[in-house]
Every structure is written in C-alpha cells, then in structure tokens.
Chains A and B, each alone.
Chain A
C-alpha cells in the first residue's frame, strides 16, 4: 500500500489453521500450503503491478548467500527464534545492509532497526536466558504445573521416543522397553501407571520418613535436600485399581467427540485419558513407536501429556490445569492477534522509510502495548547505544574456551551443540593448526561431503586427533562473516550430572573479561556454591523453553530489545527490495 515495487519473501513454514485468525492473506483452502507462496499470490492479486517473488526455504540455507542479501535495500525479519535472528543480523552487519526486526506477543509489539555503526546490532545486548528447572525439581520435587508438564514430556520420550536422547527417566526406559515392544497397551499402561504415579510416590513417602529414622549423617547431601523439600509437600499416591480404566462412555468428550479441553476434570477422567492415550499411541503409531517426538498439534500425544501432567500434579497436590492451558505451556505457544501484528507492520514500514530517506538519526526502538491506555506507543532513541565489545558489530575477536570429556565428545557434538546451538553458526568451517578438518557449504563436491559426514560420529580426540599439537580451533562461517577461536581442553571431570551436554563452554573476551556467552553456560553454572552438586535440567528442544509472562516482556522491551517470544508479523514481507 505504501508503494514498494519489488518485494521478495522467504519462509519455510506451511499454513496452519490457527494462523487464519490473523494472517489475512490466507484462506481455509490454503491450510497446509507454503506461507511464502500463498502470501505472494494474494499480494500479486491485489497489486498486479508489484514485482513479488517468493522462496520456500530456511533463511539460513546456503542459497541465501551474500549476493542474495546484497541485492536488497532493506531487509525485514519476521522470525520467531533467536538463532535465525542472529544469523540474519550477522549477515546484514557483514554486508552493511539495513535490517528491521520486529515481533509481537499478545497485546505487545516491538520494532527495532539495525544499521551497522549507526545502531546497536541484535547481539549487542545479550539475550534473556530461557527459564530452566533443576533436574531434581522435575524428577522428584515438582511444585508447579510446568514442572509436571516438563516431566510428562520426558516420560513420553522415555517410553516412545528416540533412545539416543538424554533423559533422566532412563530407568523407566530400560525397565519398560520390552513391554512397549509387546504392544499390549493394557499391560503397559498399568505398569507405567503403577510405577510412576503410585510406587514412586510411596517410595518418596518412605524416603521422607527415613531421615527421622537414621539421622543426617548416613544420607547423601542431595538426598537430604530432596527430603527437606518433600517434607513440605503433601504426597498423594494413585492406585489405578480403584479406577474404572475402561468405561463404556468416555466422559471427557463432548457429544461431537471432542475432548473437553477447556474444563478441569475429575481425577478419574485423567486416569481414563492416560489409558486411552497409551492405547492410541500403540495402535495408531505402529513402527513410529520408538521415534515419537512431542508435537502440540498431535491430539493423541497432547492427550498423553494432559493426562500425565495432571496425574502427577495430583501426586504432589498441585492444582489441576485445563488441556487448553497445558497445550500452551507444553507447546510453547505464543498468543497472537491480528491487530498487534498490523501495528508492528505499520511501525516497521515507517522505520524503513526513515532508513531509505536517509533520516537514520530519527530511528527509534518502538514498543506498543495497549495495556496502559495512557502511553500506548513508546519509543527511544537507539542511535547512541552501540556496544563497543559486541562480537558481531565491533572488531572484537572473541576467544572461547571449551572443556570436553575426551572419551565421549564427538565432532557432531562440537558442530551441533557448541557451534550451531551455542554460537548460532549456520555453516561452519573448522581449522586446526592450519589444516581444515571440517567444512560445510554448497561448493563442496560429493567426495568431500561424504568424507565429512563420515567424520561426524567420530571422537574429537580419540579418532580425529584434534588438538593434539595445537589446541586452538579456528571457526569460520563465510555466510555470516563470523570468525572466532576456540581453545580446546580435554578433561575427564566433566560431570554428566552437572553438565547434561557433556561440556563446559566459556567466553574469554580480549583475554581477560569473562562473560556469559549464551544460554548454555547459564545452565551449567550452579545457582549456589560450586562445590555443591546442583542438578540442572534443560530440554534439548528449545520448544520446551517457557515463555515469560507479558509483564516480563514489557520490562525486556524497556531495555530496547525484543526477546525470542516474538511471533511472526503478518505483513509478510520478509525481504523488501525497493525501487522508488
């Protein structure tokens, strides 16, 4: 509507029915199709003279290289995760291309512009750490519904998910894998139920009394902690035999057969749902059992989570929650409405016009929130706050220190966990002692690809001898124009319990100042004294991260940064090319 003549859109996602309440370029017939394609078509219908092009794909793909980015005068981010935001930020900073980032959650929306040397970049201010829970809270002493939900997801993984994943319910996995294979759902459901909702609670009740019998000295410290926490709780074991697990009529469904997810049920109905879910999983998933991953839009799996988390909540005397709410917490759903998205889109276009007309001194970081009717839109000047120590937009070359367990740490751990997750690198090239030992990119030939694939599951020290002579690894990402050095240390003391990831990753800026490099480090630093073992628990899947409530986000935006809770923007233009 403003008059942009050339727009290109990149998106990898498909349209879900829950998008239709706000993304007005899509209709019901479009559900399941690619967003970028449908959006481009709808815009083209309305503006036939507009030159609009779409791509289905991840913006981190190699085909969106520097030549691609260089061809734009303005780039809009409409992303929903930190990793991709960091990637686009780095590319835009390295190519000196203006980037406008924005997003919304509920009634709150934000917009911020990023211009090399004129404004701070996306990574000038460290991102907020996602909420994490100590393992022992999840495993033994939950006191909030979210703890029960996280636990329920681990249980789902332990019973039906991939064996390779880290899971503190390993004992359940081992004990029950045979029963799962048998496919007798009743036997399995009863076994699981009895073990986790009955026996385990009984044994906790015993543990609680143990302290009184033996006194402190004979117990391990962790046990004492657990006991002390348990003493504050009212524990209620559940005996499945008192419930009718196979009723004639399913009472938790309405007349049309839809689960009553907006209501809180009697505990007996959660027991029924538990049995029913296990039956459905075993009968409907067939070969997939053993590789099931939680998906909030899968009604059967969601049913399992709703049942398990409420049953566990009952065990620990925690208030029950509706299925509707549990879906939101388990699936990390960001509530979104069309009007906030429309507002963000409008503000982004305005900021974009300031950039194109050279009025960069007028750029603002803008926050919209209709909660406070008096001050609905607030802004602050962003041109003064560049972080001189930023690893991305300043010339500081970061040095990292990585301590790993030499007996277990593989090349794929280095790439997937440290580089891709901790450092948000998309296509790394690794060099040690002047020799490249790993590469990614579109220009590799098949032999090379095969060779590197082959190396991935090898041990970094034992098989690949990385770090034998030189302990510095040079990491390059040509797409992001990102370079850093990692000092590699092998150690046998990387305690798996303390560090579920199996490594310690730290940053050393300019040789002295230590900083928290990413969310990964935050979790491995115990809350209290280092000498005391503290379990921490972080889900592998970032989807498990819990969203702060809008009030928190408000505070975050007050420091002029969005967090990753921000949802997509429905003005659809992710990349705009402008010809005036």
Chain B
C-alpha cells in the first residue's frame, strides 16, 4: 500500500518536472523574448557540456564544495560552542540571542562588502561570509534545543551521579541533537547562499565565479545552467545528506516513525 502510494507520488513529481521542461521549451519556441536573454533547455544543456569539456565545471563545483566544507565546519564549531554557552547560561542567552537574531535578518550577501574590506580578494573572505551567514542560525537552534530539554533527563543524569563537567557531552548535547541537526541543516543552506554570493565577486573559480563570467560574456545559457547546477547541489546536500541524517536521528529519538 505505502510503497504504491510512494510510487504514485514519484510519477506525479516526474510529470511535473517534464511539464516545466515542456513549458520552458514552448515559451522559447514562441519567441516573445529574444534567445540571447532566454535560452532553451537544450542550449543550457549544451553550454554546460561545453563548460564540462573545457574543464571549468568540475573544478568549479569542487572549489565551491571545498570552500563550503571549510567554512561550514568553522561555522558549525563556532555555532555549537556559542549555542552551548547560551543554552546553559540564561544571561548569556539573553544577550547573544537578540544579537544573533539581528545578524540573521541581514541578507547573507550583505556580508560580502565588509569581507572585501577586511580580507581583500582572498578565499578567507569567502570563509568569513559563510561563517557569518550560518553560525548564528546554528547557535540559535542549539540553544533553543538545550533550553527545551525535558528536565527529567537532567534530573536523571544528576541522580545517576553525572559530574557537572561531563553533563554537556553525555546528556545536554545528545538530548538537544534533534534540534541541533535541524539548525545545522538551516545553517548549511544559509552558508551556501552566502558562499555563492561571495564567489560572484571575489573568486577566480567556483560556481559563483561561473555565474559572474556568464554575465560578463552576455551568455544567458551559462548563467541559467550554473543556476540549475547550484540548485541541484544545494538540494542534493540539503535533502539527501542533512535530510537523511536528520531523519535517522528523529527515528532513534522516537520523534517520528520510519517511512516506507
């Protein structure tokens, strides 16, 4: 029953994407917008293939993912550290929560000018943008998760003789892990936004750089193609990498049932 309904949804989703593809192609064929502004799906595919063959696409994807790996690791470590302090100490929480919420309202691309001023055109600036975009979200989710830990876990830990210094590793972080993974997932998405924005301006390789180069060359097919690639990788990591980890943790904690 369940697998059949899942298959049905799968078919419907596939049809939906085919439909988008057809509408896109049809709009192109009608020719209302000139083709140098509005490329057809085939032109986009062809351009991506050329970029692949010229050895631009793969190194760019690699470069962007490497920057994300470094930047996001730093952001996660900083976010978890601050989140833990905020979750454990109410005064720290009051002070930092409003600050981090404020920083979060800033569009991620708004970090690019200041990073240019501080770091110039180096990769450090891109790490800076990624960290500033994603660390506040991780910190807020971590502290919220810690504040909402059912008191019974802490009571149980204390009555079982847990020392205060081993509480974070043995009880507080594990108990908050479901919210922490949700926070990491959100932080990754925000970091991805910030990272690609920063690459637009300050790099010589990367997905953001290819976008920028496409604009410089008036190559709409390249711009659209790189946008599609960026969406695909964002989705892949968000849905499959973080999504699967989140799902497993929620199952282990008994927060959701195994699906089909």
Q: Answer yes or no: are A and B bound together in one complex.
A: no
